[in-house]
Amino acid sequence: MSEEKETVKERSSGFISVRDIPGVGSSIADKLEAAGYLSAWSIVVARAEELAEKTGLPVLTVQKIIESARKMLGITFKTAREVKQERLNIGKITTGSKSLDELLGGGVETKTITEFFGEYGSGKTQICHQLSVNVQLTPEKGGLNGRAVYIDTEGTFRWERIEAMARAIGLDPDKVMDNIYYMRAYNSDHQIAIVDELFTFVPKNDVRLVVLDSVTSHFRAEYPGREHLAERQQKLNSHLHQLMRLAEAYNVAVVVTNQVMARPDVFYGDPTTAVGGHVLAHTPGVRVQLRKSKGNKRIARVVDAPHLPEGEVVFVITEEGIRDSEEE
Ligand code: ATP
Ligand code: MG
Protein backbone atom coordinates (compact mmCIF):
# COMPACT_ATOMS: atom_id res chain seq x y z
CA MET A 1 0.00 0.00 0.00
CA SER A 2 2.64 2.51 1.06
CA GLU A 3 4.86 1.46 -1.83
CA GLU A 4 2.01 2.07 -4.21
CA LYS A 5 1.57 5.59 -2.78
CA GLU A 6 5.22 6.38 -3.41
CA THR A 7 5.14 5.41 -7.06
CA VAL A 8 2.06 7.48 -7.70
CA LYS A 9 3.46 10.46 -5.85
CA GLU A 10 6.61 10.31 -7.91
CA ARG A 11 4.53 10.85 -10.99
CA SER A 12 2.65 13.73 -9.44
CA SER A 13 4.10 16.31 -11.82
CA GLY A 14 2.20 14.74 -14.70
CA PHE A 15 -1.31 13.47 -15.26
CA ILE A 16 -2.73 11.11 -12.63
CA SER A 17 -6.02 9.45 -13.48
CA VAL A 18 -8.91 9.04 -11.04
CA ARG A 19 -8.27 5.33 -11.62
CA ASP A 20 -5.03 5.67 -9.67
CA ILE A 21 -6.85 6.78 -6.51
CA PRO A 22 -6.72 3.93 -3.97
CA GLY A 23 -10.19 2.57 -3.30
CA VAL A 24 -11.65 3.77 -6.61
CA GLY A 25 -12.85 0.77 -8.58
CA SER A 26 -13.68 0.81 -12.26
CA SER A 27 -17.41 1.41 -11.83
CA ILE A 28 -16.83 4.47 -9.64
CA ALA A 29 -14.08 5.64 -12.00
CA ASP A 30 -16.53 5.35 -14.91
CA LYS A 31 -19.02 7.58 -13.07
CA LEU A 32 -16.36 10.13 -12.19
CA GLU A 33 -15.12 10.25 -15.76
CA ALA A 34 -18.63 10.48 -17.18
CA ALA A 35 -19.15 13.54 -14.97
CA GLY A 36 -15.97 15.12 -16.37
CA TYR A 37 -13.58 14.31 -13.50
CA LEU A 38 -10.62 12.65 -15.17
CA SER A 39 -7.63 13.50 -13.01
CA ALA A 40 -6.96 12.86 -9.33
CA TRP A 41 -6.31 16.59 -8.94
CA SER A 42 -9.79 17.42 -10.20
CA ILE A 43 -11.13 15.28 -7.33
CA VAL A 44 -8.91 16.88 -4.72
CA VAL A 45 -10.10 20.37 -5.56
CA ALA A 46 -13.78 19.47 -5.95
CA ARG A 47 -16.44 20.14 -3.35
CA ALA A 48 -18.01 16.93 -2.02
CA GLU A 49 -21.63 18.07 -2.57
CA GLU A 50 -20.94 19.12 -6.12
CA LEU A 51 -19.10 15.89 -6.90
CA ALA A 52 -21.94 13.82 -5.42
CA GLU A 53 -24.53 15.74 -7.37
CA LYS A 54 -22.70 15.40 -10.69
CA THR A 55 -21.83 11.70 -10.32
CA GLY A 56 -24.92 10.46 -8.49
CA LEU A 57 -22.63 8.85 -5.87
CA PRO A 58 -23.49 9.15 -2.16
CA VAL A 59 -21.83 12.09 -0.38
CA LEU A 60 -20.14 9.73 2.08
CA THR A 61 -18.52 7.74 -0.72
CA VAL A 62 -17.43 10.93 -2.40
CA GLN A 63 -15.86 12.24 0.81
CA LYS A 64 -13.85 9.03 1.12
CA ILE A 65 -12.66 9.32 -2.48
CA ILE A 66 -11.57 12.93 -1.93
CA GLU A 67 -9.75 11.95 1.27
CA SER A 68 -8.01 9.08 -0.48
CA ALA A 69 -6.96 11.32 -3.38
CA ARG A 70 -5.55 13.88 -0.92
CA LYS A 71 -3.48 11.22 0.80
CA MET A 72 -2.22 9.86 -2.49
CA LEU A 73 -1.13 13.28 -3.70
CA GLY A 74 0.50 14.06 -0.36
CA ILE A 75 -1.78 16.99 0.44
CA THR A 76 -1.32 17.37 4.15
CA PHE A 77 0.39 19.73 6.61
CA LYS A 78 3.53 21.33 5.21
CA THR A 79 6.47 22.75 7.08
CA ALA A 80 7.30 26.42 6.63
CA ARG A 81 10.35 25.38 4.65
CA GLU A 82 8.17 23.43 2.26
CA VAL A 83 5.95 26.48 1.91
CA LYS A 84 9.07 28.47 1.08
CA GLN A 85 10.09 25.90 -1.50
CA GLU A 86 6.66 26.07 -3.12
CA ARG A 87 6.87 29.83 -3.21
CA LEU A 88 10.21 29.50 -5.03
CA ASN A 89 8.50 27.28 -7.60
CA ILE A 90 6.30 30.15 -8.69
CA GLY A 91 7.04 31.12 -12.26
CA LYS A 92 6.87 34.57 -13.81
CA ILE A 93 6.06 35.54 -17.37
CA THR A 94 7.37 38.79 -18.79
CA THR A 95 4.83 41.17 -20.29
CA GLY A 96 7.37 42.58 -22.74
CA SER A 97 7.65 45.79 -20.73
CA LYS A 98 10.21 45.98 -17.91
CA SER A 99 8.26 48.65 -16.03
CA LEU A 100 5.04 46.64 -16.20
CA ASP A 101 6.94 43.55 -15.04
CA GLU A 102 8.31 45.49 -12.08
CA LEU A 103 4.86 46.73 -11.18
CA LEU A 104 3.76 43.07 -11.08
CA GLY A 105 6.70 42.03 -8.92
CA GLY A 106 8.67 40.52 -11.80
CA GLY A 107 5.97 39.53 -14.28
CA VAL A 108 2.67 37.67 -14.39
CA GLU A 109 2.85 34.93 -11.75
CA THR A 110 1.78 31.31 -11.81
CA LYS A 111 -0.46 29.88 -9.07
CA THR A 112 -2.61 32.97 -9.16
CA ILE A 113 -5.17 34.84 -11.24
CA THR A 114 -4.18 38.15 -12.75
CA GLU A 115 -7.06 40.34 -13.87
CA PHE A 116 -6.47 43.09 -16.42
CA PHE A 117 -9.42 45.46 -16.36
CA GLY A 118 -10.02 48.67 -18.24
CA GLU A 119 -11.95 50.42 -20.96
CA TYR A 120 -12.08 49.34 -24.63
CA GLY A 121 -8.76 49.70 -26.42
CA SER A 122 -6.80 49.87 -23.18
CA GLY A 123 -4.62 46.91 -24.21
CA LYS A 124 -6.16 43.92 -22.42
CA THR A 125 -6.29 41.70 -25.50
CA GLN A 126 -2.85 42.78 -26.70
CA ILE A 127 -1.35 41.82 -23.32
CA CYS A 128 -3.06 38.40 -23.54
CA HIS A 129 -1.54 37.83 -26.99
CA GLN A 130 1.90 38.93 -25.78
CA LEU A 131 1.82 36.65 -22.72
CA SER A 132 0.77 33.68 -24.89
CA VAL A 133 3.94 34.24 -26.91
CA ASN A 134 6.23 35.08 -23.99
CA VAL A 135 5.29 32.06 -21.85
CA GLN A 136 7.11 30.02 -24.50
CA LEU A 137 10.43 31.77 -23.90
CA THR A 138 13.11 30.18 -21.76
CA PRO A 139 13.19 31.22 -18.09
CA GLU A 140 16.33 33.31 -18.72
CA LYS A 141 14.34 35.36 -21.22
CA GLY A 142 11.28 35.73 -19.04
CA GLY A 143 9.23 32.70 -20.05
CA LEU A 144 8.37 29.29 -18.63
CA ASN A 145 9.13 27.05 -21.60
CA GLY A 146 5.42 26.33 -21.64
CA ARG A 147 2.35 26.40 -23.81
CA ALA A 148 -0.71 28.63 -23.60
CA VAL A 149 -4.44 28.04 -23.65
CA TYR A 150 -6.43 30.97 -25.05
CA ILE A 151 -10.14 31.07 -24.35
CA ASP A 152 -11.75 33.75 -26.44
CA THR A 153 -15.28 34.90 -25.66
CA GLU A 154 -15.44 37.89 -27.99
CA GLY A 155 -13.74 36.63 -31.14
CA THR A 156 -10.89 39.12 -30.88
CA PHE A 157 -7.99 36.65 -31.04
CA ARG A 158 -5.74 37.36 -34.05
CA TRP A 159 -3.12 34.87 -35.19
CA GLU A 160 -1.54 37.71 -37.16
CA ARG A 161 -0.66 39.43 -33.88
CA ILE A 162 0.88 36.22 -32.52
CA GLU A 163 2.96 35.90 -35.68
CA ALA A 164 4.18 39.50 -35.50
CA MET A 165 4.96 39.31 -31.78
CA ALA A 166 6.83 36.01 -32.15
CA ARG A 167 8.88 37.28 -35.07
CA ALA A 168 9.74 40.47 -33.16
CA ILE A 169 11.47 38.48 -30.41
CA GLY A 170 13.22 36.08 -32.77
CA LEU A 171 10.96 33.05 -32.29
CA ASP A 172 9.70 30.84 -35.11
CA PRO A 173 6.11 32.08 -35.64
CA ASP A 174 4.76 28.69 -36.73
CA LYS A 175 6.20 26.95 -33.68
CA VAL A 176 4.81 29.65 -31.42
CA MET A 177 1.35 29.27 -32.98
CA ASP A 178 1.56 25.48 -32.56
CA ASN A 179 1.98 26.04 -28.84
CA ILE A 180 -1.16 28.12 -28.34
CA TYR A 181 -4.35 26.12 -27.92
CA TYR A 182 -7.25 28.30 -28.92
CA MET A 183 -10.90 27.82 -28.08
CA ARG A 184 -13.89 30.08 -28.61
CA ALA A 185 -16.36 30.00 -25.70
CA TYR A 186 -19.91 30.55 -26.90
CA ASN A 187 -21.71 31.17 -23.63
CA SER A 188 -21.04 31.10 -19.91
CA ASP A 189 -21.94 27.41 -19.52
CA HIS A 190 -19.53 26.55 -22.31
CA GLN A 191 -16.86 28.73 -20.70
CA ILE A 192 -17.30 26.90 -17.37
CA ALA A 193 -17.21 23.50 -19.10
CA ILE A 194 -13.96 24.40 -20.87
CA VAL A 195 -12.33 25.26 -17.56
CA ASP A 196 -13.48 21.92 -16.11
CA GLU A 197 -11.79 20.21 -19.06
CA LEU A 198 -8.59 22.14 -18.41
CA PHE A 199 -8.00 20.14 -15.22
CA THR A 200 -7.13 17.28 -17.58
CA PHE A 201 -5.82 19.22 -20.56
CA VAL A 202 -3.35 21.51 -18.79
CA PRO A 203 -1.11 18.84 -17.18
CA LYS A 204 -1.14 16.69 -20.31
CA ASN A 205 0.03 19.47 -22.60
CA ASP A 206 2.68 21.42 -20.66
CA VAL A 207 0.42 24.42 -20.40
CA ARG A 208 1.76 27.19 -18.13
CA LEU A 209 -0.64 30.00 -19.07
CA VAL A 210 -4.42 30.06 -19.36
CA VAL A 211 -6.02 33.19 -20.83
CA LEU A 212 -9.71 34.12 -20.60
CA ASP A 213 -10.44 37.13 -22.77
CA SER A 214 -12.87 38.24 -21.46
CA VAL A 215 -13.95 36.43 -18.32
CA THR A 216 -17.01 38.62 -17.81
CA SER A 217 -18.69 39.32 -21.16
CA HIS A 218 -20.92 36.22 -21.33
CA PHE A 219 -21.98 36.59 -17.72
CA ARG A 220 -22.86 40.25 -18.28
CA ALA A 221 -24.88 39.44 -21.41
CA GLU A 222 -26.71 36.50 -19.87
CA TYR A 223 -27.48 38.08 -16.51
CA PRO A 224 -28.21 41.69 -17.39
CA GLY A 225 -29.13 44.49 -15.07
CA ARG A 226 -29.57 44.93 -11.39
CA GLU A 227 -32.16 42.18 -10.98
CA HIS A 228 -29.66 39.49 -12.04
CA LEU A 229 -26.69 40.98 -10.29
CA ALA A 230 -26.58 38.60 -7.32
CA GLU A 231 -26.95 35.51 -9.48
CA ARG A 232 -24.35 36.72 -11.95
CA GLN A 233 -21.83 37.55 -9.27
CA GLN A 234 -22.37 34.20 -7.60
CA LYS A 235 -21.80 32.29 -10.87
CA LEU A 236 -18.80 34.40 -11.68
CA ASN A 237 -17.31 33.88 -8.22
CA SER A 238 -17.64 30.14 -8.47
CA HIS A 239 -16.05 30.25 -11.95
CA LEU A 240 -13.16 32.32 -10.61
CA HIS A 241 -12.65 29.94 -7.71
CA GLN A 242 -12.44 27.08 -10.17
CA LEU A 243 -9.78 29.06 -12.08
CA MET A 244 -7.89 29.72 -8.84
CA ARG A 245 -7.85 25.99 -8.10
CA LEU A 246 -6.56 25.33 -11.61
CA ALA A 247 -3.76 27.88 -11.14
CA GLU A 248 -2.72 26.39 -7.82
CA ALA A 249 -3.05 22.73 -8.73
CA TYR A 250 -0.89 22.92 -11.85
CA ASN A 251 1.34 25.91 -11.14
CA VAL A 252 -0.02 27.81 -14.14
CA ALA A 253 -0.68 31.52 -14.62
CA VAL A 254 -4.33 32.39 -15.17
CA VAL A 255 -4.92 35.73 -16.88
CA VAL A 256 -8.42 37.13 -17.23
CA THR A 257 -9.69 40.35 -18.73
CA ASN A 258 -12.68 42.46 -17.82
CA GLN A 259 -13.94 45.45 -19.74
CA VAL A 260 -15.06 48.34 -17.60
CA MET A 261 -16.25 51.77 -18.62
CA ALA A 262 -13.87 54.70 -18.46
CA ARG A 263 -16.55 56.85 -16.88
CA PRO A 264 -18.58 54.77 -14.48
CA ASP A 265 -20.85 57.73 -13.75
CA VAL A 266 -22.36 57.44 -17.23
CA PHE A 267 -22.94 53.74 -16.82
CA TYR A 268 -25.01 53.49 -13.69
CA GLY A 269 -27.22 50.80 -15.26
CA ASP A 270 -24.62 48.19 -14.37
CA PRO A 271 -23.74 48.44 -10.68
CA THR A 272 -20.72 46.08 -10.84
CA THR A 273 -19.18 48.35 -13.41
CA ALA A 274 -20.34 51.51 -11.69
CA VAL A 275 -18.46 50.72 -8.51
CA GLY A 276 -15.27 50.74 -10.48
CA GLY A 277 -14.85 47.47 -11.73
CA HIS A 278 -12.80 44.55 -11.02
CA VAL A 279 -14.47 41.18 -10.57
CA LEU A 280 -11.89 39.53 -8.38
CA ALA A 281 -13.08 41.20 -5.20
CA HIS A 282 -13.77 37.87 -3.50
CA THR A 283 -10.98 35.87 -5.08
CA PRO A 284 -7.31 36.11 -4.26
CA GLY A 285 -5.27 37.42 -7.15
CA VAL A 286 -3.69 40.46 -8.73
CA ARG A 287 -5.84 43.18 -10.28
CA VAL A 288 -4.35 45.53 -12.82
CA GLN A 289 -6.19 48.56 -14.07
CA LEU A 290 -5.32 49.77 -17.57
CA ARG A 291 -6.02 53.24 -18.92
CA LYS A 292 -5.52 54.86 -22.28
CA SER A 293 -3.07 57.70 -22.55
CA LYS A 294 -1.70 59.68 -25.50
CA GLY A 295 -1.26 57.72 -28.74
CA ASN A 296 -0.02 54.23 -28.16
CA LYS A 297 0.74 54.88 -24.49
CA ARG A 298 -1.13 52.99 -21.77
CA ILE A 299 -1.08 53.38 -17.99
CA ALA A 300 -1.15 50.40 -15.63
CA ARG A 301 -1.86 50.44 -11.91
CA VAL A 302 -2.14 47.54 -9.48
CA VAL A 303 -5.08 47.82 -7.10
CA ASP A 304 -5.56 46.21 -3.68
CA ALA A 305 -2.19 44.45 -3.57
CA PRO A 306 -0.26 45.35 -0.43
CA HIS A 307 2.65 43.09 -1.47
CA LEU A 308 3.26 44.94 -4.74
CA PRO A 309 4.77 48.39 -5.30
CA GLU A 310 2.33 51.27 -5.47
CA GLY A 311 2.09 53.70 -8.30
CA GLU A 312 1.56 53.66 -12.02
CA VAL A 313 3.67 52.72 -14.98
CA VAL A 314 3.48 53.65 -18.64
CA PHE A 315 3.94 51.13 -21.44
CA VAL A 316 3.26 51.22 -25.17
CA ILE A 317 1.48 48.97 -27.66
CA THR A 318 3.48 48.72 -30.88
CA GLU A 319 3.33 46.59 -34.02
CA GLU A 320 5.91 44.37 -32.27
CA GLY A 321 3.84 44.07 -29.12
CA ILE A 322 3.93 45.35 -25.54
CA ARG A 323 7.05 47.41 -24.82
CA ASP A 324 8.47 50.02 -22.45
CA SER A 325 7.67 53.60 -23.23
CA GLU A 326 10.89 55.26 -24.41
CA GLU A 327 10.04 58.58 -22.80
CA GLU A 328 9.94 57.19 -19.29
P1 ATP B 1 -11.70 45.76 -25.57
O2 ATP B 1 -12.23 46.08 -24.20
O3 ATP B 1 -12.48 46.44 -26.64
O4 ATP B 1 -11.55 44.30 -25.80
P5 ATP B 1 -8.84 45.87 -25.18
O6 ATP B 1 -8.49 46.46 -23.86
O7 ATP B 1 -8.78 44.41 -25.33
O8 ATP B 1 -10.26 46.44 -25.64
P9 ATP B 1 -6.85 45.85 -27.18
O10 ATP B 1 -7.57 45.19 -28.28
O11 ATP B 1 -5.88 45.05 -26.42
O12 ATP B 1 -7.90 46.55 -26.23
O13 ATP B 1 -6.07 47.12 -27.69
C14 ATP B 1 -6.37 47.68 -28.93
C15 ATP B 1 -5.28 48.67 -29.21
O16 ATP B 1 -4.06 47.99 -29.44
C17 ATP B 1 -5.57 49.42 -30.47
O18 ATP B 1 -6.34 50.55 -30.15
C19 ATP B 1 -4.20 49.77 -30.95
O20 ATP B 1 -3.82 50.96 -30.31
C21 ATP B 1 -3.32 48.67 -30.43
N22 ATP B 1 -2.95 47.74 -31.49
C23 ATP B 1 -3.64 46.68 -31.93
N24 ATP B 1 -3.01 46.07 -32.95
C25 ATP B 1 -1.89 46.78 -33.17
C26 ATP B 1 -0.82 46.70 -34.10
N27 ATP B 1 -0.78 45.75 -35.03
N28 ATP B 1 0.16 47.61 -34.01
C29 ATP B 1 0.13 48.58 -33.10
N30 ATP B 1 -0.85 48.73 -32.20
C31 ATP B 1 -1.85 47.85 -32.22
MG1 MG C 1 -10.15 42.97 -25.92
Lowest mean pLDDT among 45-49, 253-257, 314-318: 45-49
pLDDT 10s digits, 177-230:
999 999 999 999 999 999 989 988 998 999 999 999 999 999 989 988 888 888
Question: What is the reported pLDDT for 82?
Answer: 84
CA of 110 to the centre of ligand 1 (A): 25
Of ligand 1's listed atoms, the one at least distance from the Cα of 116 is 6
CA of 119 to the centre of ligand 1 (A): 11
Nearest CA to ligand 1 atom 21: 317
Averaged pLDDT for residues 99-109: 96
Of ligand 1's listed atoms, the one at least distance from the Cα of 319 is 28
pLDDT over 90, % of the chain: 66
Q: Which residues pair with 288 in a beta bridge?
A: 116, 302
Question: What is the reported pLDDT for 12?
Answer: 36
**Beta-strand relationship, 297-303 and 286-292:** antiparallel
CA of 120 to the centre of ligand 2 (A): 7
Question: What is the reported pLDDT for 279?
Answer: 62
251: CB partners within 8 A, 6+ apart? 89, 90, 91, 110, 111, 208
pLDDT 10s digits, 18-48:
998 999 999 999 999 999 999 898 899 899 9
* CB-based contact 263:122 (threshold 8 Å): no
Question: What is the reported pLDDT for 8?
Answer: 37
Does residue 298 have a pLDDT over 60?
yes
Q: Is 317 in the pocket of ligand 1 (CB under 6 A)?
A: yes
pLDDT 10s digits, 115-167:
999 999 999 999 999 999 999 999 999 999 999 999 999 999 999 999 999 99
Of ligand 1's listed atoms, the one at least distance from the Cα of 123 is 11
Of ligand 1's listed atoms, the one at least distance from the Cα of 154 is 4
CA 64, CA 36: separation in Å to the nearest integer? Answer: 19
- pTM equals 0.81
CA of 123 to the centre of ligand 1 (A): 5
Terminal CA-CA length for the chain:
61
CA 207, CA 144: separation in Å to the nearest integer? Answer: 9
Q: Is 160 in the pocket of ligand 1 (CB under 6 A)?
A: no
pLDDT category at 3 given cuts 50, 70, 90 is very low
CA of 117 to the centre of ligand 1 (A): 14
Q: Is 319 in the pocket of ligand 1 (CB under 6 A)?
A: yes
CATH assignment, 90-324: 3.40.50.300
CA of 168 to the centre of ligand 1 (A): 17
> Between 100 and 328, whose confidence is greater?
100
Mean residue pLDDT of the chain comes to 88
Q: DSSP 3-state assignment of 189?
A: helix
Q: Is 125 in the pocket of ligand 1 (CB under 6 A)?
A: yes
CATH assignment, 3-72: 1.10.150.20
CA of 247 to the centre of ligand 1 (A): 27
- Residue 162 CB-density burial (10 A; 0-12 exposed, 13-18 middle, 19+ buried): buried
Does residue 240 have a pLDDT over 60?
yes
CA of 117 to the centre of ligand 2 (A): 10
Question: What is the reported pLDDT for 9?
Answer: 36
Of ligand 1's listed atoms, the one at least distance from the Cα of 126 is 11
Residue ranges of domains in the chain: 3-72, 90-324
Of ligand 1's listed atoms, the one at least distance from the Cα of 164 is 27
116, 125, 129, 260, best to mutate for ligand 1 pocket (most atoms within 8 Å of CB): 125
Q: Is 126 in the pocket of ligand 1 (CB under 6 A)?
A: yes
